[in-house]
């Protein structure tokens, strides 16, 4: 593994641990726990998602002409969120490991310094907003008849096409959101907390992650 890839894994591991602390109550909640774990394991985990991301891009290019408008918008925003998150992570990675000269250990103070170096507050706000938009559309999709059946029927063709990682990702997301009584409450809680942390960082609060 190249140094840059290793450093990115260190960054994502720190972010995963921080998110787990910030949203510990949601992780423990019987209704919101599965969705929270889905975010942490499939969106902010310290692992390589390159194959899944490639599959998403490929399917979007192939199917965008045939999908209904609702799904086109959902997939387009999901691709946009994924690309934006990767871009922000890579920029922050450069700031922390190159400009600040960090070796392996990230602290809250270093992480906040990295945000100031990147100076991309508006993009971070948009990332939080986009996360909520995508989550709401996923939750709405679980209420549409036959979506779950369609996912199950797609399992064989997806695996045969080599898209098993993407298929598994979609099924886990569907199952997690399907069992939530109020996706709006779950998503608004995450957005409110993350925006508060972001504002704490840029207003130089002593402990920006203490909310």
Q: Is residue 15 part of a domain?
A: yes
φ, ψ for residue 96, nearest 5 deg: -75, -50
Give residue 39's pLDDT band: very low, low, confident or very high (50, 70, 90). Answer: confident
Q: Is residue 124 part of a domain?
A: yes
User: Which own/partner contact pairs does 195-204 have at CB distance under 8 Å and 24+ positions apart?
Assistant: 195/125, 195/128, 197/22, 198/115, 198/121, 198/124, 198/125, 198/128, 201/112, 201/115, 201/116, 202/115, 202/116, 202/121
> With 90 as the cut, is the pLDDT of residue 49 above it?
no
Q: What is the structure's pLDDT at 113?
A: 97
Q: Residues 152-198: pLDDT tens digits?
A: 776 776 677 666 666 677 777 777 778 788 888 999 999 999 999 99
φ, ψ for residue 23, nearest 5 deg: -115, 35
Q: What is the structure's pLDDT at 192?
A: 97
Q: Is residue 112 part of a domain?
A: yes
CB 200 within 8 A of CB 211: yes
How large is the angle between the packed helices 108-118 and 183-202, nearest 10 degrees? 80
Q: Is residue 26 part of a domain?
A: yes
Mean of the pLDDT values across residues 104-131?
96
Structural domain boundaries enclosing 175: 3-202
Q: Is residue 83 part of a domain?
A: yes
Q: What gap in Å lies between CA 64 and CA 161, rounded to an integer? A: 18
Q: What is the structure's pLDDT at 27?
A: 94
Q: Residues 123-155: pLDDT tens digits?
A: 999 999 999 988 888 888 777 777 677 767 767
The count of domains in the chain is 1
Tell me the whole-structure pTM to 2 decimals: 0.84
Q: Is residue 210 part of a domain?
A: no
Q: Is residue 211 part of a domain?
A: no
Q: What is the structure's pLDDT at 142?
A: 78
Q: Is residue 207 part of a domain?
A: no
Q: What is the structure's pLDDT at 41?
A: 79
């Amino acid at each position: 593994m190249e140094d840059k890839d290793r450093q990115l894994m260190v960054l994502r591991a720190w972010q995963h641990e921080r998110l787990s602390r910030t949203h510990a109550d949601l992780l423990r909640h019987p209704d919101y726990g599965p969705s929270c774990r889905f975010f942490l394991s499939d969106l902010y985990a310290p692992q390589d998602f390159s194959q899944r991301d490639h599959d998403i891009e490929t399917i979007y290019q192939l199917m965008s002409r045939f999908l209904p408008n609702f799904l086109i918008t959902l997939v387009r925003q999901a691709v946009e969120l994924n690309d934006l998150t990767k871009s922000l992570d890579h920029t922050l990675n450069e700031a922390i490991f190159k400009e600040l000269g960090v070796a392996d250990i990230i602290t809250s103070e270093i992480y906040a310094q990295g945000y100031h170096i990147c100076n991309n507050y508006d993009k971070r706000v948009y990332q939080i907003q986009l996360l909520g938009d995508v989550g709401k559309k996923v939750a709405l999709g679980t209420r549409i008849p036959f979506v779950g059946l369609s996912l199950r029927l797609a399992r064989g063709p997806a695996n045969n096409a080599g898209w098993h990682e993407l298929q598994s990702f979609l099924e886990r997301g569907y199952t997690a959101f399907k069992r939530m009584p109020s996706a709006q409450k779950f998503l608004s809680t995450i957005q409110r907390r993350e925006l508060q942390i972001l504002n704490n960082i840029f207003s130089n609060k002593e402990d920006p992650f203490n909310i």
